[in-house]
Amino acid sequence: MTVLGIESTAHTCSIGIVDEGAKVLALAGDMYKPPKGGIHPREAANHHVEMLPVLLERALAEAHVSPKEIDGIAFAQGPGLGPCLRAGATVARALSLAWDRPLLPVNHCVSHIEIARVLSGLDDPMLLYASGGNTQVIAYGRGRYRVLGETIDVGIGNFLDKLWIALGGTFPGGPQLEAEARKGSSLYPLPYSVHGMDVAFSGLLTASLALANQGVARADLAFSVETTAYAMLTEITERALAHRQMKHVVLGGGVACNERLRSMVRAMVEERGGTMFAPPRNLCVDNGAMIAWTGELARRSGLAVPISASAVDPRQRTDKVRAPWRDQGAGALPGVN
């Protein structure tokens, strides 16, 4: 079995091809970079429309497969930016029709946990999903993935990008802030907004900009921002582990590329006797291979849809979709349906 997956929820458009053992046969992607400021959904979608045919040829060549050897077409149905999602879904529908193959809608957040789960070999890990637009702590319970905690304002990556751009930098801010933070050492106090298993970043943004205006060195500011924001994420992940009596954590999303975040979460998890796993960077960020792999799981569970039922869902919640491929017993959450 070989499944092709299309990712196009935000900046990245990507096509991946995987086999039934989750071996990545091909992965071709391209990122829309706004000339300045944040992402414009229509412009990003135009970029994806132009790039997807190129990426398709590249992926098929890299995988050494012909269309005849593809057994399913998966695409990210949501959550994401409407115009970007529609660009990917349109290509997926066209391929499904042209090649007469099942069409497999996939939830983007679920695909981050499924690729990390299969790569790590951990049967029932908690996912800390830290990306541009999403920040969630997710675990499986009774047929679905449940959001145990999340940001109540912006995603962690959007916060880092906004801060960096306000300081005069360019998108994406996260990696540049990471490089800056490595040179810093003084920890300035910043708002630490943890509310149960949820977090918020807007107060942190305002306070960080105020520190910058007071002339705090950029490296120390970056160090303080990373320390505070990643401690918040580590704390809510630990609380979710404790409540669910779980041990293992996998990471996903662009911000999960961050070494500081990885080491803080790893220290917490190992102290609790568990294992922390972060996929290689090309499978941590948005990518078509995770969509393809989750599409394969969906195919096995009979979740293919006709074109008439393949509308994108920009606000699709992680717990809106079923995950019947998960053992009903594993990670079941008593009392939750």
Give the SS3 label for residue 329. coil
Mask 84-123, x = binds Mg ion (CB under 5 A)?
Answer: ----------------------------------------
Where does this chain touch Mg ion (CB under 5 A) — which range of 12-20, 141-149, 280-288, 304-312? 280-288
**Shortest Å, Cβ 252 to ligand AMP:** 8
Structural Rg of the chain based on CA atoms: 20
Q: What letter represents residue 162's amino acid? A: K
Residue 150 found at the interface with ligand AMP (CB under 6 A) = no
Please list, residue by residue across 61-96, b when 16 or more beta carbons sit within 10 angstroms of its beta carbon and e when fewer do.
ebbebeeeebbbbbbbbbbbbebbbbbbbbbbeebb
Sequence-distant (≥ 6) Cβ neighbours of residue 302 within 8 angstroms: none
Q: Judged by CB under 6 A, which of 16, 72, 105, 132 binds ligand AMP?
A: 132
Report the residue number, 12 or 96, with the smaller CB distance to ligand AMP: 12
Residues 280-319 that bind ligand AMP (CB under 6 A): 285-286
Residue 158 found at the interface with Mg ion (CB under 5 A) = no
Instruction: State the number of binding residues for ligand AMP (CB under 6 A).
Output: 21
Q: Judged by CB under 5 A, which of 286, 290, 312, 323 binds Mg ion?
A: 286
Best CA proximity match to 132, nearest among 44, 54, 219, 216: 44
Residue 331 found at the interface with ligand AMP (CB under 6 A) = no
d(C-alpha 69, C-alpha 179), whole Å: 43
For the chain, where are the alpha helices, taking DSSP H only?
41-63, 82-99, 108-120, 156-166, 173-181, 202-213, 218-244, 259-271, 281-284, 288-300
Residues 163-222 that bind ligand AMP (CB under 6 A): 172-175, 178
Report the residue number, 78 or 274, with the smaller CB distance to Mg ion: 78
For 201-336, where are the alpha helices, taking DSSP H only?
202-213, 218-244, 259-271, 281-284, 288-300
| Residue 17 touches which member of Mg ion, ligand AMP, none, C-beta under 5-8 Å by kind | none
Residue 254 found at the interface with ligand AMP (CB under 6 A) = yes
| Residue 132 touches which member of Mg ion, ligand AMP, none, C-beta under 5-8 Å by kind | ligand AMP
Residue 161 found at the interface with ligand AMP (CB under 6 A) = yes
Where does this chain touch ligand AMP (CB under 6 A) — which range of 101-109, 126-134, 143-151, 329-337? 126-134
Look at the block and give the residue holding tokens 């920040």. Answer: 135
Phi, psi at 245, each rounded to 5°? 50, 45
**Shortest Å, Cβ 62 to Mg ion:** 22
Burial of 334 (0-12, 13-18, 19+ CB in 10 A): exposed
Mask 39-78, x = binds ligand AMP (CB under 6 A)?
Answer: ----------------------------------------
Look at the block and give the residue holding tokens 């997956």. Answer: 5
Phi, psi at 128, each rounded to 5°? -100, 110
Q: Judged by CB under 6 A, which of 125, 141, 149, 157 binds ligand AMP?
A: 157
Query: Chain-centre distance of CA 324, in angstroms?
Result: 21
Task: List residues near ligand AMP by CB under 6 A.
Answer: 10-12, 131-133, 157, 160-161, 172-175, 178, 253-255, 257-258, 285-286
Residues of this chain that interact with Mg ion (CB under 5 A) are: 131, 286
